[in-house]
Amino acid sequence: MSRPFARSLSQLARPLSQKPRQLLRRRHRDFSTSTPRHLMGMTGFTETQVTVREAVAAVCSRFPNTYWQEHDQSEQDPTEFHAALAKDGWLGIALPEELGGAGLGISEATIMMQTITESGAGMAGAQSIHANVYATQPLARFGTQEQLHRTIPNIISGQWRACFGVTEPNAGLDTLRLSTAAKVQPDGSYRITGQKIWITCAQVARKMILLARTTPRDEVRKPSEGLSLFCIDLDRTQPGLDMRRIKKMGGRAVDANEVWFDNYAVPADTLVGAEGEGFKIILHGMNAERCLLAGEALGLGYAALGKAAEYARGRVVFQRPIGQNQAVAHPLADAYMQLEAAKLATYHAARLYDASRSDATVQQDAVGVAANSAKYLAAEAAFTACERAVLAHGGMGYAVEFDVERYFRECLVPRIAPVSREMILNYISEKVLKLPRSY
């Protein structure tokens, strides 16, 4: 093993638990010298990123497709999967070393999330840890030392889980019109009243990163002002908190919820950053989330395409494998190229995000354009791959045991969330092409 490679492994492994440290340092001995068959080419990725991919894949290999089929059908939280990743330190991949994290970037976190979906876990596996990775980014950057040391280590260890509370039923994508209010009390604490929707993992989360209005909209100069960010406890024993699970099409192993606050009390020290600066703060998490979603979409697309190619090689009709027919082969080949193009956009966006944290010449506008573009392209490529995977299987594409029906149900998530494809097109039209705003 070359010295630079050994050094990169040591740097990656140092903040993690003893188990991944040993795993990473024994990389050449423990991992097969014949690379597992992955459709995505890894040329151009760093050795650290390749190591993350292989190490996370090793954890995921303990959770076969049957595990995810069963949890999807029973709508049971993948607690064991979350615990396995937490045990090996992966929930802290993009969090500071001094708080127990790995101190790596969103680039490495994106490849981790892609590896999870690509393993067969799909969007359910990704969503079980998704908010723990991206929703903590604003907290890690703007939180007080007391907040960080009280919260981040517990999230990294898996003792606490986190969720992200932004979307509201009457505001949707118009975040600046959200109405959940946090009213300051004489003792400095806050009382929260309002409703959030599509809150993933709220049933199992201990913490919520919450965006709420601390100054009424008609009392601020700009709609982006008067919003504040909080890191609150979801204490189900206290009055003023209620939630209801939403039955949904895909990703059923992970809960999605409506959450109601009715004069719910939270301490003063739950405020993250300055009051009224919440929208600016939360943008750091939103761009990170778009990168992660793009990676998750890629993994789902590659997983579906791999299944389709395997089936097309083995399924014989009219005395020949169906993959010999161009009507089957060409759509799959086209889907592969779309995924590869989206891969380039995704990891370009993640690199820009990471660079912007230390390089003042990388503007946040450029990061936003890249992250939104990547999320759009990866979601569309994943949809194409998943749809064609079902069609390549014919009737068996409808069967649970072949997994592609589950991937197809889940591939709609990246197209819709956390921002719709139409709003991304609006964003690019306005910010890049300088066309008149349409909404």
Shared domain for 304 and 427, answered yes or no, is: yes
Query: Mean pLDDT in the chain?
Result: 92
pTM: 0.91
The structure tokens listed for 395 are 């009737």
Shared domain for 296 and 241, answered yes or no, is: no
- Is there a contact between 198 and 420 (Cβ–Cβ < 8 Å)? no
Note if 118 is an active site residue: no
151 within domain boundaries = no
317 within domain boundaries = yes
Shared domain for 394 and 408, answered yes or no, is: yes
Shared domain for 218 and 177, answered yes or no, is: yes
CATH code for the domain in which residue 218 is found: 2.40.110.10
Q: How many CB atoms lie within 10 A of CB 310?
A: 13
Catalytic residue among 289, 296, 380, 405: 289
Shared domain for 292 and 363, answered yes or no, is: yes
Worst-scoring range by mean pLDDT, 111-125, 181-195, 272-286? 272-286
CATH code for the domain in which residue 352 is found: 1.20.140.10
Which of 278, 303, 323 is at the close of a domain?
Answer: 278
Helices (H), 128-213: 130-134, 136-142, 145-156
Which of 259, 278, 297 is at the close of a domain?
Answer: 278
Q: How confident is the model at residue 37 (pLDDT cuts 50, 70, 90)?
A: low
- Is there a contact between 203 and 75 (Cβ–Cβ < 8 Å)? no
302 within domain boundaries = yes
Count of structural domains within the chain: 3
Shared domain for 297 and 178, answered yes or no, is: no
What is the extent of the structural domain holding 284? 279-431
417 within domain boundaries = yes
262 within domain boundaries = yes
150 within domain boundaries = no
110 within domain boundaries = yes
Element (H, E) at 198: strand 190-200
Helices (H), 14-144: 18-25, 27-30, 47-60, 65-74, 79-87, 106-116, 122-127, 130-134, 136-142
- Is there a contact between 123 and 413 (Cβ–Cβ < 8 Å)? yes
Strand 162-165 to strand 207-213: parallel, antiparallel, or no bridges (unpaired)?
Answer: parallel
Shared domain for 239 and 98, answered yes or no, is: no
Helices (H), 243-277: none
Shared domain for 405 and 291, answered yes or no, is: yes
Task: Identify any residues that bridge with 266 across adjacent strands, giving them in sequence order.
Answer: 190
155 within domain boundaries = no
95-148 pLDDT tens trace = 999 999 999 999 999 999 999 999 999 999 999 999 999 999 999 999 999 999
Shared domain for 169 and 52, answered yes or no, is: no
239-254 pLDDT tens trace = 999 999 999 999 999 9
Shared domain for 299 and 393, answered yes or no, is: yes
Shared domain for 189 and 117, answered yes or no, is: no
224-277 pLDDT tens trace = 999 999 999 999 999 999 999 999 999 999 999 999 999 999 999 999 999 999
13-33 pLDDT tens trace = 444 444 444 444 444 334 333
Kindly state the percentage of the chain with pLDDT values over 70. Answer: 92
Shared domain for 256 and 287, answered yes or no, is: no
CATH code for the domain in which residue 30 is found: 1.10.540.10
pLDDT for the residue 285: 84
Which of 254, 278, 302 is at the close of a domain?
Answer: 278
